[in-house]
Amino acid sequence: MTDRDEALHEVRVDVWLWAARFFKTRSLAKQAVGGGKVELNGGPCKAARPVRAGDRLVVRRGEETMEVEVLGVSERRGPAPEAQTLYRESESSRAAREAARAQRRLAPPPRPSGRPGKHDRAELRRLKEGGPGAE
């Protein structure tokens, strides 16, 4: 085993998140770790903290929360199918994400805030009067 192989038994958490395609750039991964959006083995971590196979991560991106187990480490960002072999998501996490996705789909769309603009007023006028373009 070479020194490089031994070094790949662990890798920085921000690099691993980028290589596993949780974040588009390493900078975004580093910001998420620094902002407390990532937990390693049940506790907070810093971007330089090493990740090894067998570690558990909780990653929050927007409204999604994923609980994953690290299966492998990589410093290289490869294709998506290769990146998916680096981790396994827990069943409870997958079920919770699917339930939240279904809930968001059923929720009413957000209402615009503020006063109607020029185009909005014209559309409202057409709807009230039943003029051209009204259905």
List the chain domain ranges. 3-106
Q: CB burial class (10 A; 0-12, 13-18, 19+) of residue 30?
A: buried
Q: Would you say residue 118 has pLDDT above 90?
A: yes
What's the rounded Cα separation, in Å, for the pair 60 and 8? 25
**87-89 and 56-61 beta bridge pairing:** unpaired
Decide which of 3.10.290.10, 3.40.50.150, 3.40.50.300, 3.40.91.50 is the CATH code for 3-106: 3.10.290.10
Residue 9: pLDDT over 90: no
Which two three-digit tokens encode residue 113? 């805030």
Average pLDDT, the chain: 88
Residue range 47-83, pLDDT digits in tens: 999 999 999 999 999 888 999 999 999 999 999 999 9
